[in-house]
Structure 1
Amino acid sequence: MQGHLNESLHLSILIASYGIPVHFIGSIAHNRQAKLRLHGWDPKNTSKMHFHNLQLPSLSSNPPKLNAYTKFPGHLQPLFDASLQLRKPVFQLLQELSAKYRRIIIVHDTLMASVVQDVTLIPNAESYALHSVSAFTIFFYIWESITKKPFQLDCDIPNDKIPSSEGCFTPEFEDFVSKQYKVLNFESGRLYNPCRQIEGRYMDLLEKLPTNANKKQFAIGPLHPVEIKSGCSNSRHRCLEWLDKQEKNSVIYVSFGTSISMTEEQISELAVGLERSRQKFLWVVRSADGVDIAAENDVRRPRLPKGYEDRVLDRGMVVKDWAPQLEVLAHPSIGGFMSHCGWNSCMESISAGVPIAACPMHSDQPKNSILITEVLKIGLLVRDWEQRAKGVTSTSVESAVRRLMTSKEGEEMRKRAMKLGGAVRGSVADGGSSCLEMDSFIAHICR
């Protein structure tokens, strides 16, 4: 998924900045997509890295079993299953690299554990798992699965409000994840995208878990550039020019990531809610990435209600392709973000100091939304996860947008988000917690 690719590539660029040779291993299509959608960095940064393009085997032709109540992108399951066949070519490549270097360090996504498990057979290699979700969500995933709890939680931790994992995944993907975690204990340590300024408490809880005993833990997030360099893109996206003409904090940005496709009914409800809110909005409307992720130009474009764009021309802009989210969130006219609450989007919004109208759809998103709304208190729910079967209504969208953008409650959330954003940006500056943990990780692997 794109979020996982983003984190892996951003981390690779950070490691390369220490003068360490970095080899990025992936399928041809994934490597192309990762580089194509990279933003916030100077594209020249990837020229310092070595990309290894592996050929994925043929995808299964069996149609996925989709469930109307589960919004997880089950259509990607053949791609996940095909990735398991990369174990042999990856091991062969790691053996070749191990002959060239005194030590090789493998950093792998947790969902690719079975592909790199043979690293234990290479004497001069060690591995680190990259967790691509929040410490809060990881902890409660594990806590939910433990029958005999190893310790008591503090009474003010919102344990009673944490959604279960029901409805978050397809059975096929749950089985895939289970296979990864069965072998996930060969790594020397674990890397996390959160930073301690926002999730220190949950990093501490993770470190207390028996499963993490004797494992090095590094909270090195956010894994995206927090200061967007001008001129990083070949051309400035037209939505940024539109934002230039809007007042400060006047626009709500609406985007649900690259793994979610909405039905025409859902799109219609969202469109009506945004229109009735009478607030300015920038809405990214696109279908989820397909199995053939190389076919960027073949993405099916969702249909808006007839005449919609003309009716909202005075206060709304619709983008029907990919948008530079980091630059959008950093723009001074953005005052809120309606999001599915994927962890990358959460971290990007927090770093920019933008409050969130949370509309979780699947995976880690329901738990992330509780972190945003109940713990950090920098957002509100568009609708409760328990009501997911009913979908998002125009009334709930209208109400959420107005609360976030025009109410005193929304203004307080905005102030908290801006304060928290400053702390997160400080964490990656010289002497900040994430910068120090990254330095510590580099020193550890270079020992």
Structure 2
Amino acid sequence: MSNQPPADVVVVMIPFVAHGHLNQLLHLSRLISAYNIPVHFITTTTHLHQLRSRLHQYSNAALPNNNNNNNINFHQLPTPTFTSPPPNPSNRFPTHLQPAFESTIHLRHPIADLVASISTTARRVAVIHDVLMSYTVQDVKTIPNAETYIFNPLSACDAFWRKWELKGRPFPMDPDVLNLLPSEDGTLSPEFTEFMIFQYPHVGFHVGELFDSSRVIEGEYIKYLEREEFNDTKKIWAMGPFSLADKLVVTVLGNRHNCLQWLDLQPPNSVIYVSFGTTTTFSDRQFKELAAGLERSQQRFIWVVRSSDMGDVSGDEAKMSDLPVGFEERVEGRGLVVRGWAPQVEILEHVGTGGFMSHCGWNSTMESILAGVPIATWPMHSDQPRNAFLITDVLRVGLVVSDWEHRDDLVSSLVVEDVIRRLIDSSEGERVRKKAVELAEAVRRSVSEGGECRKEADSFVSYINRE
């Protein structure tokens, strides 16, 4: 670090090794660096490679390079070799990623050494770490001029309800809401639950907590989290949506993706975008029912067909399963299958897109809300069931494909067909689309001068710059 110029305050980002988590803190890095604060982004060699390969469509300023780029320094750390088993369709939770998750415990000492080195050139080091990396930052508290901030990568809605249960339901909630709220049962695997518990002893030394959310979207739940039953002196900042707040400039290198060119030819709000994120694996039977439902609906669609991420981030371009014989020929002109990675944000923001069939991961949820696109909810694990509840029962910007209490049931082609038709071509769909557009406009206003999101970001930067 001897060749680095002195800095007053420096921020260190330590994301968890799953794409959604990495992506969020990359956006936050750009947001904070826009305040002229140096940022150090620390992750594994494997996952930095993943970020580079998936963000190839972004401008050079957004790409994670090894050198200081746009006030962001990218650091890659090796982890021990591990075996990444194939995804198992019988497990809703991506248990095949567990070896990659557990490999992060070996980063404790390299992270401590790197933060200590960075601290020699700054008055203060603010370490923002994913809550699932709490073990790896436990030594930061021994560095005199360093302080830690927990980043919660999931929704405030899910965070509140889990804490409310964990604290023994410290205050009453509306019984009608409780009747609608999905249970936590089956949202996590036993192995991942143990991994979370492993982090608990190292939580509590942080100064505050950050959410990739907005009080415009989840104000009620953020206020609950600020109540004294959950909080003592810890501060909470809801600085999101990070992806909007950092005003990331996307420039496609070369030709636009063919799916965007196809979208250009479709009527406004006529296409349903179907994608289930980076950790979903369907059984062959469910995959074929989904295909049949898309075909039967007679509606326009873009369907992203890909394998779940592997622990070593291989297999990104593979498809989930074989499509039914003749499927693409029968839907030609009306439907488009995209194999591998797709430009999701650009698809959602396109005028031709009228709905999103989604697993309700938090990144996808926020991107859809920002685009003003209603969601057909089909949650798979983690916070997704309660994100779906937030979408359909609180914000009312979506329709249910599969509810959590019937998660083990096959979703038939008839159900898929029905939800698509209702979302794209009915008065009910128009109502939720109108609410989605209104919410998007409110969120976008929040990042302008004096808006909620802008205030939160200014507040956080002011706090870490305090004397």
Q: Normalising by the residue count of structure 2, what TM-score does the alignment of the two structures yield?
A: 0.91
Q: Choose which of 413, 435, 441 in structure 1 pairs with 2:454.
A: 435
CA apart distance, 1:368 = 0.5
DSSP 3-state at the match of 1:231:
coil
Aligned-partner residue type, residue 92 of structure 2: K
Q: 1:20 to 1:230 in 2, by over 3 A?
A: closer
Q: 1:14 to 1:294 in 2, by over 3 A?
A: farther
* 1:86–1:115 CA contact under 8 A, matched in 2: yes
Q: Choose which of 182, 186, 189 in structure 1 pairs with 2:201.
A: 182
Aligned-partner residue type, residue 60 of structure 2: P
Q: Is residue 127 of structure 1 aligned with residue 144 of structure 2?
A: no
Q: Is residue 401 of structure 1 aligned with residue 393 of structure 2?
A: no
Q: Is residue 55 of structure 1 aligned with residue 78 of structure 2?
A: yes
CA distance in 2, matches of 1:91, 1:64: 33
Unpaired segments of 5 or more residues in structure 2? 1-17, 64-68
Matched with 1:282 is: 302
CA distance in 2, matches of 1:155, 1:295: 45
CA apart distance, 1:228 = 6.9
Q: Is residue 109 of structure 1 aligned with residue 126 of structure 2?
A: no
CA apart distance, 1:182 = 3.1
Aligned-partner residue type, residue 395 of structure 2: L
Aligned-partner residue type, residue 443 of structure 1: S
CA apart distance, 1:385 = 1.1
DSSP 3-state at the match of 1:252:
strand
Q: Is residue 343 of structure 1 aligned with residue 370 of structure 2?
A: no
* 2:164–2:170 CA contact under 8 A, matched in 1: no
Q: Is residue 16 of structure 1 aligned with residue 33 of structure 2?
A: yes
Aligned-partner residue type, residue 171 of structure 2: F
Matched with 1:318 is: 337
Q: 1:60 to 1:209 in 2, by over 3 A?
A: farther
The 5 A counterparts of 1:229-378 are 229=249, 231-293=251-313, 296=316, 299=318, 301-378=320-397
* 2:89–2:281 CA contact under 8 A, matched in 1: no
Aligned-partner residue type, residue 140 of structure 1: W
DSSP 3-state at the match of 2:210:
strand
CA apart distance, 1:36 = 2.8
Aligned-partner residue type, residue 33 of structure 1: Q
CA distance in 2, matches of 1:267, 1:155: 37
- Partner deviation per Cα, 1:141-172 (whole Å, 9 max, x = no partner): 1112222x32222566x122111211111100
Matched with 1:193 is: 212
CA apart distance, 1:41 = 5.7
DSSP 3-state at the match of 1:78:
helix
CA distance in 2, matches of 1:223, 1:81: 27
Q: 1:260 to 1:275 in 2, by over 3 A?
A: same
CA apart distance, 1:394 = 0.7
Percent identity, aligned pairs only? Answer: 48
Q: Normalising by the residue count of structure 1, what TM-score does the alignment of the two structures yield?
A: 0.95
* 2:216–2:442 CA contact under 8 A, matched in 1: yes
Aligned-partner residue type, residue 312 of structure 2: D
* 2:294–2:417 CA contact under 8 A, matched in 1: yes
CA apart distance, 1:212 = 2.0
Aligned-residue Cα RMSD (Å) equals 1.9
* 2:316–2:341 CA contact under 8 A, matched in 1: no
* 2:305–2:319 CA contact under 8 A, matched in 1: no
Q: 1:65 to 1:249 in 2, by over 3 A?
A: closer
- Partner deviation per Cα, 1:379-425 (whole Å, 9 max, x = no partner): 01102211111132111101110111111111100000000000111
CA apart distance, 1:235 = 3.6
Q: 1:27 to 1:41 in 2, by over 3 A?
A: same
Aligned-partner residue type, residue 285 of structure 2: E
Q: Is residue 145 of structure 1 aligned with residue 166 of structure 2?
A: yes
* 1:64–1:74 CA contact under 8 A, matched in 2: no
* 2:316–2:340 CA contact under 8 A, matched in 1: no
DSSP 3-state at the match of 2:242:
coil
Matched with 2:50 is: 33
CA apart distance, 1:340 = 0.3
CA distance in 2, matches of 1:93, 1:200: 36
* 1:40–1:224 CA contact under 8 A, matched in 2: no
The 5 A counterparts of 1:412-427 are 412-427=431-446
* 2:282–2:320 CA contact under 8 A, matched in 1: no
CA apart distance, 1:210 = 2.9
Matched with 2:10 is: none
Q: Is residue 388 of structure 1 aligned with residue 407 of structure 2?
A: yes
Q: Give the count of matched residue pairs.
A: 442
CA distance in 1, matches of 2:285, 2:424: 25
Matched with 2:8 is: none
